[in-house]
Amino acid sequence: MNARPVKIAPSILAADFARLADEVAKIEAAGADFLHVDVMDGHFVPNLTIGPPIVEALRKVTSLPLDVHLMITNPDAFIPEFADAGATYLTVHTETCPHLHRTIQLIKEHGVKAGITLNPATSLTTLEEVIADADLVLIMSVNPGFGGQKFIPAVYDKIARARDLITRTGSRALLEVDGGIKIDNAAEVVKAGADVLVAGSAIFNTSNYAETIQAFRSAATQAHSVSL
């Protein structure tokens, strides 16, 4: 069981990029806890999105923590730039890090919180040796690359096992889940053990962000009260 208050991390991938500052102001006023920023390189994932200049621009217009999800082949080469741009968390895919311990240290040397993420097909065992150094564990509930995909149900069990690993090892890492999260499966994701819910299309495709975020919070609270 996990009774920590759940955080909501809207993914700006689903925002209107032509009006990004307005979108961010609206989402901050609506009660978001983190701003999730999806960085894709067209190589590790089949899509291209944004780089450090946008993170730097975002840092100037919001006080929300910037939760930067690096879906890129060679994260070590870009960690200094993303750190200087103002990232709060830098989360790397284990699939892209042959020297994951070194990569985590590099993130921390730059004064940034270190996140580790796993694709749906990647086993949790890769986390065990580095969990003590992680500030955040991100479980992907879709194959990364695009917003608006369907949540993969087999991931519920993986979230529960990740929660066990975090509890068992006394890790301080937040457990975040990303991909296909909607109001109607949020309670299940929280019940499985999530601390942070990433949601892109489920928030930005609605007209009232505050109401939507509130609905996510109610679902999360309901999940906790059932499990208590």
Closest Cα to residue 95, out of 66, 123, 68, 114? 123
Q: Are 95 and 72 in contact (CB under 8 A)?
A: no
Q: Are 203 and 183 in contact (CB under 8 A)?
A: no
- Measured from the CB atom, is 198 or 220 closer to Zn ion? 198
41 makes contact with Zn ion (CB under 5 A): no
Length in residues, the chain: 228
Closest Cα to residue 187, out of 155, 219, 228, 214? 219
What would the DSSP string read from start to end of 114-148?
EEEEE-TTS-THHHHTTGGG-SEEEEESS-TT-SS
174 alpha-carbon distance from chain centroid: 10
For 177, other C-beta atoms within 10 Å of its C-beta total: 30
- By beta carbon distance, the residue nearest ligand DX5 is 200
175 makes contact with ligand DX5 (CB under 6 A): no
CB of 189 to ligand DX5, least distance (A): 11
Burial classification of residue 91, based on how many CB atoms lie within 10 Å of its CB (0-12 exposed, 13-18 middle, 19 or more buried): buried
What mask of x and - would describe binding to ligand DX5 in positions 7 to 26, judged by CB under 6 A? ----x-xx------------
Known active-site residue 178: yes
44 alpha-carbon distance from chain centroid: 17
CB of 172 to ligand DX5, least distance (A): 23
- Measured from the CB atom, is 93 or 113 closer to ligand DX5? 93
Known active-site residue 195: no
38 makes contact with Zn ion (CB under 5 A): yes
- Measured from the CB atom, is 41 or 178 closer to Zn ion? 178
Residues of span 47-86 touching Zn ion by CB under 5 A: 69
The two three-digit tokens of residue 178, written as one number: 């990303």
Q: How many residues bind ligand DX5 (CB under 6 A)?
A: 22
CB of 170 to Zn ion, least distance (A): 27
Catalytic residue among 33, 38, 41, 195: 38
Q: Are 190 and 219 in contact (CB under 8 A)?
A: yes
CB of 120 to ligand DX5, least distance (A): 11
- Measured from the CB atom, is 129 or 184 closer to ligand DX5? 184
- By beta carbon distance, the residue nearest Zn ion is 69
Among 178, 202, 203, 217, contact with Zn ion (rule: CB under 5 A): 178
Which positions touch Zn ion (CB under 5 A)?
A: 38, 69, 178
Which positions touch ligand DX5 (CB under 6 A)?
A: 11, 13-14, 36, 38, 69, 142, 144-149, 178-181, 198-202
